[in-house]
Amino acid sequence: MRLYLINPSNQLVALAKVKQNWWNRYRRWKPLSLLVLGGLTPPEWEVTLVDENVGVPDYAAMPRPDLVGITSFTSQANRAYAVAAEFRRLGVPVVMGGIHATMCLEEASQHVDSVVTGEAEGVWAQVLEDARNGDLKRVYAGEHANMEGVPLARHDLLPDGYALGAIQTTRGCPLHCSFCSVTAFNGRGYRQRPIDDVVREFGLIREKRVLIVDDNLIGTREEHIARAKDLFRAMIRADVRKAWIAQVTINMADDDELLKLASKSGCEGVFIGFESPRVEGLLEVGKKFNLRDGRDFKASIDRIHRHKILVVGSFIIGLDTDERGIGRQIADTSSRYGVDILNAMFLTPLPGTRLWKEMESEGRIAANSFPEDWKYYTLLFPVAQYKNLSWADMLREMDECDGTFFSRRRVLRRFWGNLCRMRNPIFGLAMDLSYRNNLPLNRKTYREFSLAHDVGA
Ligand code: B12
Ligand code: SF4
């Protein structure tokens, strides 16, 4: 039995634009969902994994599969449906899973033969069995998996050439930010994989650099942090020899032992959601956590830097409390905090989030020709009605924000500053150059977007 697992591309996102900007190759990551699905698939199935971000094959010229499985974030949904249509024309059944199909079950059901909602661990074997018997059900409802049942991912299913391998050590996030899909999908409970499994899986990853995809690797409570320390200790003992980056919350800065162990186990950088330079903004998105104990963000980042760890800071443009000038404010605040790489994004109502529900009830979801418009849900296009900013304002604010933070002067200043301080200053520079060289590409995309849409003045 032959199974194709496909990660559809969205040509509007940076990781698909390697030809136009060489530095984007440093942002090529592996689609872990499909590697995990590969790990759940019994050996009688011959699995081929296609990552369209690397290249789109001629499917008609490939041997005919018995089943196709497609994953999809919302931003990939319309391409996912196009791929599904291609295989269904050939008479091949298609099953779709992942965050988008889960949150938009009715829509997805119109384009594929079967939808798996939620986590696949508990239902995938049944899907395969039913496919083999020609008896696929329309919907399989996956539940939150017991983390002891998550198999080692099949890292062998993708070729070399990725900048980063991927691994997951926990699921769920104890916080509940308004714009984020994680709690709706994986829940607020913080589920942890057995540390031995994680360490063994690191041994299967060929890339030197690894993205730990957890939404919050360290968690928020004492017991979460104790577990993170145990994980880092085990990685040090096993000498996994990987440089890794991960998403964490700012409380990582408060525990020197945690930082020391993280650094010793290979931590090269952390991605932190600062979300807004303003208190009103943090309250609006439900991230009071960042304000706890009168946090001093610059001092926190300094403490992380002392362990040679880079900080990627994420901020949102377009909150109800944002006004003109927010782009410049974010760029300047991030530089003042000492952020090494800035990831600025537009407030985007993603299906299933609190924000989606609020905006939908207020009639504010403006890019709503679905499924076609899903391709703009990359967090880099204005898709809603924003309170104080028109779409033209939003595009200008983003350009101002990125143009300021990634100006030649600031890039060079960061590089010199990091040269001796950081474990891998070149990685920081590569990211800076990827973002900086995307500026003209983004401007071109925004011009096209403005011509195709009524973006206002
Ligand atoms: C790693 C990651 C990335 C990597 C992507 C690597 C890749 N796939 O190519 C990078 C950094 C490139 C990235 C980019 C983006 N991401 Co991202 N990302 C994640 C993150 C943190 C982890 C994903 C992961 O690997 N999880 C581990 C696997 C094992 O879990 P899983 O994907 O859920 O898969 C399970 C089930 O869903 C199911 N399943 C999944 N696919 C399939 C398919 C079939 C056939 C079946 C049966 C089952 C099934 O089975 C799996 C096992 O249980 C998630 C958050 C999260 N917790 O999922 C956000 C997340 C997926 N990203 C998100 C977003 C918004 C984006 C961006 C649009 C913007 C951004 N943040 O930069 C871009 C879009 C890129 C694009 N291609 O269009 C949102 C998506 C929400 C949505 N509705 O789409 C999430 C949920 C985060 C959030 N805060 O809400 N991302
Ligand atoms: S802390 Fe991060 S993962 Fe957790 S709910 Fe907020 S945005 Fe989502």
Q: Hey, what are 344's tokens?
A: 């600025």
Measured from the CB, is residue 214 less than 6 Å from ligand 2?
A: no
Measured from the CB, is residue 379 less than 6 Å from ligand 2?
A: no
Structural contact between residues 320 and 350, judged by C-beta atoms closer than 8 angstroms: no
Correct CATH for 164-452 of 3.40.50.300, 1.20.120.160, 3.30.2290.10, 3.80.30.20: 3.80.30.20
Measured from the CB, is residue 182 less than 6 Å from ligand 2?
A: yes
Q: Please indicate whether residue 198 or residue 294 has the higher confidence score (pLDDT).
A: 198
**For residue 100, which atom of ligand 1 is closest to its CA?**
83
Atom 3, ligand 2: which residue's CA is nearest?
A: 215
**For residue 351, which atom of ligand 1 is closest to its CA?**
83
Whose atoms come closest to the Cα of 178: which ligand? 2
Position 28 confidence tier, pLDDT thresholds 50, 70, 90 = confident
Q: What is the C-alpha separation between 350 and 343, in angstroms, rounded?
A: 18
Q: Please indicate whether residue 38 or residue 29 has the higher confidence score (pLDDT).
A: 38
**For residue 286, which atom of ligand 2 is closest to its CA?**
6
Atom 6, ligand 2: which residue's CA is nearest?
A: 177
Q: Is the pLDDT of residue 119 over 70?
A: yes
**For residue 174, which atom of ligand 2 is closest to its CA?**
4
C-alpha of residue 73 to centroid of ligand 1, in Å:
6
Instruction: Share the mean pLDDT of the chain.
Output: 95
pLDDT confidence of residue 11: 84
Structural contact between residues 124 and 137, judged by C-beta atoms closer than 8 angstroms: no
Atom 2, ligand 2: which residue's CA is nearest?
A: 215
Position 311 confidence tier, pLDDT thresholds 50, 70, 90 = very high
pLDDT for 64-97, tens place per residue?
999 999 999 999 999 999 999 999 999 999 999 9
**For residue 215, which atom of ligand 2 is closest to its CA?**
3
C-alpha of residue 274 to centroid of ligand 2, in Å:
11
**What is the percentage of the chain residues whose pLDDT exceeds 90?**
85
**For residue 211, which atom of ligand 1 is closest to its CA?**
1
Measured from the CB, is residue 329 less than 6 Å from ligand 2?
A: no
Measured from the CB, is residue 120 less than 6 Å from ligand 2?
A: no
Measured from the CB, is residue 128 less than 6 Å from ligand 2?
A: no
Atom 46, ligand 1: which residue's CA is nearest?
A: 97
C-alpha of residue 211 to centroid of ligand 2, in Å:
17
User: Whose CA is closest to 192, among 215, 211, 164, 210?
Assistant: 215
Measured from the CB, is residue 176 less than 6 Å from ligand 2?
A: yes
Return the domain boundaries, the chain.
2-141, 164-452
Measured from the CB, is residue 314 less than 6 Å from ligand 2?
A: no
Burial of 202 (0-12, 13-18, 19+ CB in 10 A): buried
Q: Is the pLDDT of residue 246 over 70?
A: yes
3-state secondary structure of 20: coil
CATH of domain 2-141: 3.40.50.2300
Position 19 confidence tier, pLDDT thresholds 50, 70, 90 = confident
Amino acid making up residue 67: L
Atom 29, ligand 1: which residue's CA is nearest?
A: 33
Q: What is the C-alpha separation between 330 and 398, in angstroms, rounded?
A: 10
pLDDT for 353-362, tens place per residue?
999 999 999 9
Structural contact between residues 248 and 216, judged by C-beta atoms closer than 8 angstroms: yes
pLDDT for 173-204, tens place per residue?
988 999 999 999 999 999 999 999 999 999 99
Q: Is the pLDDT of residue 149 over 90?
A: no
pLDDT confidence of residue 138: 98
8-state DSSP, 412? H
Q: Which of 28, 73, 126 to mutate to test the pocket of ligand 1 (most atoms within 8 A of CB)?
A: 73
Whose atoms come closest to the Cα of 345: which ligand? 1
Q: Hey, what are 292's tokens?
A: 């706890």
Does the bond joining 277 to the residue before it have cis omega, within 30 degrees of 0? no
Whose atoms come closest to the Cα of 139: which ligand? 1
Measured from the CB, is residue 183 less than 6 Å from ligand 2?
A: yes
Q: What is the C-alpha separation between 456 and 76, in angstroms, rounded?
A: 27
Burial of 290 (0-12, 13-18, 19+ CB in 10 A): buried
